[in-house]
Chains A and B, each alone.
Chain A
Amino acid sequence: MISDSMAEVLRLLQLDDGFDAAAEVAVRAAETLGVDGLTVSLATGGEQAELVWCTDEAAGQFEDLQFTLGEGPGPDAVRAGAMVLVPDLAQVRAGRWPALTTESGALAVCAVFCFPMAIGAIRVGVLTVVRRTVGPLTDAQIGDAQVLAHALTGRALGATVLDQDKAPLLHAVVHQATGMVSVQLDLPLPQALLRLRAHAYSSGRPLLDISRDVVARRLRLDLNGNGDGNPLPVSDKD
């Protein structure tokens, strides 16, 4: 269960309509998680990432460093789709992130925790929190951070309604349909999921139903020429 203060952060996040205006939300989130700095980086394709939230200079520098070097808990978390928790950077096994360990020594970062923003192979980015002191996050803080990362994933994928949308993502068929649409329209997986969502929205039908139709090949989404995110036409059933 998430904490009351994280629930409040998520509420603020819902009200806010863009990553730019989210500075205060980020600060509140860092307070809630009991950390000194918080960053959010969005994957921009390849190994690159774009810093969109940054509450603290050292945290931002650490994040830049990991993605410049292409190694560290952040890139690992993104690659695997699983959180990487480092309660004491000085204790990291030699050779795990050799360049990062050398370069980050000058930064006031002693502990770092990275939470992937992802839906399976759809990698959206990473939420990173840092501390100037050594020590683990509590179980409750980890839970809060995971839920925040999940909410940010939804935002980055253009869903303001991810909360209601939580249930369909439990169903294998939605992920299967995402894969199918990505091949049909020659789109990366994130855009394929957006297409499915857009179609569900414009047709007023649940994402789960749309996905079932796609997987059963009763429905085939169309790219609709310019791919500008407009409601999609539906080709004839086959």
Chain B
Amino acid sequence: MAREQQLTQVFVEVADSLIDDFDLIDFLQRLSERCVELLDVAACGVLLADEHDVLQVLAASDEDTRLLELFALQNNQGPCVECYRSGQPRTNINLTDPGVAEAWPQFTPEARQSGFVSTNAIPMRLRGKVIGALGLFQTIDRDLSEADTALAQALADVATIAILQQRTLAHSETERSQLQYALTSRIVLEQVKGILAERWHVTTDEAFAAFRAYARAHHHQLSVLARRIADGEFDTAQIPRTAHH
């Protein structure tokens, strides 16, 4: 598909979601998938700063735990945290460069082990303040162009808007509360992955796939359904144990 066509699709999808009652984590995960397609990268993640100014993973193009862990590693080193602190994008960082490995001794080998050769970080901005970062990974030697970077920035801005647009259980009006709700939702989701994996004797990744397929098919918000499951208010026997895509 031509990029212009892809872009149009993303635009329609984003507009559709934002005027509706959407689930933030699910939205950001889809947005991450679109980033991967549009920017021709291998993986994308959305990171948001918590009250300690530490970056937490909100969503990634692939819910695979290993990828989530790689993004989580960037809480104290790597391009995302530098981008968050400086407010400037960090693009086309070569992970095979010994200087890079020296600067980020934990992050670089882990990223290399996952097959990534380069990485980028784009700031998520809110009225002059940086609230998080978009992380992009590449498995082939291909630089992001200036146009790619501009597009990545636009997608990062969409992620910020979505965070501020989500409807929370607290009906909160303030930005700080929206950010906290998003971070809490992510943690609940992880706890529920564990609960379902153990109930069903499957891996956490398989549990999530089945859970998400069910939520999407029945128009449940992921975050709301996850809270109900964690609180024992939802009979998980209703959820088919294998994901149907």
Contacts and interface: CB of A to CB of B under 8 A. Distances in A.
Interface of A: 1, 76-77, 79-85, 96, 116, 118-122, 139, 142-143, 146-147, 150, 166-167, 170-173, 175-184, 189, 215
26 contacts: A79-B170, A81-B188, A82-B170, A82-B180, A82-B181, A84-B170, A84-B172, A119-B187, A120-B188, A121-B227, A121-B231, A166-B54, A167-B75, A170-B54, A170-B75, A172-B68, A175-B190, A175-B191, A175-B194, A179-B192, A179-B194, A180-B197, A181-B194, A182-B194, A183-B195, A215-B194
B151 interface: no
B125 to A, nearest CB: 16
Interface string B152-189: 00000000000000001111101011101100111111
B69 A147 contact: no
B199 interface: yes
Interface residues of B, number: 44
Given A172-B69, A175-B191, A215-B65, 7 more contacts: A81-B180, A81-B185, A82-B169, A120-B189, A120-B230, A122-B191, A179-B191
Most chain B CB neighbours (cut-off 10 Å) among A77, A81, A142, A171: A81
A81 B181 contact: yes
Given A80-B168, A146-B51, A120 B187 contact: yes
Contact of B195 (A76, A146, A180): A180
B204 interface: yes
Closest CB pairs A-B (n = 8): A179-B194, A120-B187, A121-B230, A81-B184, A175-B190, A80-B170, A80-B169, A146-B51
Interface of B is mostly: helix
B227 to A, nearest CB: 6
Contacts, number: 136
Contacts of A167: 75-76
A82 B194 contact: no
B177 A179 contact: no
B10 interface: no
A84 B174 CA distance: 8
B75 A143 contact: no
Contacts of B176: 83, 85, 139, 142
